Structure 1
Amino acid sequence: MLELLKGESQGVRVRPRWPSSKVLIEQSTFIKMIEAQSMLPPSIRLLIVRGYESKSSNLGFFRILSRWLGIRVFCTFYPERKNEVSDIFGSNGHDVDGTHVDVSIVLNGKRLRFLPFGVFTSLTRQKAVAAEHLVVIHVVKDALRQCGFEIHKNQTESMQIHCDYKG
């Protein structure tokens, strides 16, 4: 397992999602991420923000608490989306191994944020924010798929570009 710190590694940017200070990722997954980056034009950069997160780490309790609270708030705002709770608030494999990663897109040096309110961004708002960059999103997701990554089916998780390396 590789330990990536904030910065750039072999052409791929890394910025661990708060409160983490590093991203843990399997070497084979990272190699494929580098391959996906090489398929993109120079104006588009991949930004790895999340990888493996051990349940037993110091942040484990914090994550459990924030998920519990997040679920309550999400269900209050979006009672019609309760069926998405496990997709959005589950670990989605991040606690299994380093083949499950969240990736952002940097376009011309600026990070694109498709979830301005995190997972609490409405589906309508997600679509509106993404509409401006649909071509870029498709190019990135196609490169990831060609390199063996599977993009999460849930729209919100897909906008976080949660992907699993299937090798």
Structure 2
Amino acid sequence: MLELVKGESQGIRVGPRWPSSKVLIEQNTFNKMVETQSMLPPSVRLLIVRGYESKSSNLGVFRLLSRWFGVRLFCTLYPKRKNEVTDIFGSNGHDVDGTHVDVSVVLNGKRLRFLPFGVFTSLTRQEAVAAQHLVVINKVKDALRQCGFEIHQNQTESMQIHCDYKG
């Protein structure tokens, strides 16, 4: 398992999602991220923000509490989207191993934020933001798929580019 800190590693940017200070990722998964990056134009850079997260760490307890609160807030804001709670607030494999990764996109040096309000961004807003960068999003997702990654089916998870390396 690789331990990546904020910065750059082999052409891949790393920016751990708060409150983490590092991203844990399996070596082979990282190698495939490097391969994915090589398929993209120089103006488009991958930014790894989340990988393996142990349930038993101090951050694991924090995440458990924030998920509990988040689920309640999400269901209050979007009562018709309760069926998405498991997809959005579940660990989605991040607590299993380092093959489950969240990736962001940097375009011409600027990070693109597809979920300006995090998972609380409405689907309408997500679609509007995505429409502005649809060509870039499709290039990144296509390159990830070609390198053996599977993109999460849930629209919100897909917008934070949660992908699983399937090899």
TM-score range, shorter chain: over 0.9
Aligned residue type for 2:134: L
The alpha-carbon deviation at position 60 of structure 1 amounts to 1.1
Correspondence for 1:128: 128
Mapped partners of 2:107, 2:60: distance in 1: 32
Offset of residue 78 of structure 1: 0.1
Question: 1:94 maps to which residue?
Answer: 94
Matched, 1:45 2:45: yes
Cα distance in 1 between the residues matched to 2:130 and 2:104: 13
Unaligned runs of 5+ in 1: none
TM-score by length of 2: 1.00
The match for 1:67 is 67
- Which residues of structure 2 form unaligned runs of 5+? none
Cα-Cα RMSD: 0.3
**Rounded Cα–Cα distance in structure 1 between residues aligned with 2:42 and 2:60:** 37
The match for 2:79 is: 79
Q: 4+ runs of 1 displaced by more than 3 Å?
A: none
Percent of matched pairs sharing the same residue? 87
Q: What letter is aligned with 1:73?
A: L
Instruction: Please give the secondary structure, in 2, of the residue aligned with 1:18.
Output: coil
Whole-angstrom CA distance in 2 between matches of 1:59 and 1:161: 22
- For 1:143 and 1:11, the matched residues in 2 are separated by 15
What TM-score do the two structures reach when normalised by structure 1?
1.00
Secondary structure in 2 aligned to 1:59? helix
> Which residue does 1:58 correspond to in 2?
58
Match of 2:28 in 1: 28
Q: Cα deviation per residue 1:31-89 (whole Å; 9 max; x = unaligned)?
A: 00000000000000000000000000111110000000000000000000000000000
1:113 equivalent in structure 2? 113
> For residues 59 and 157 of structure 1, what CA distance do their matches in structure 2 show?
21
Aligned residues: 167
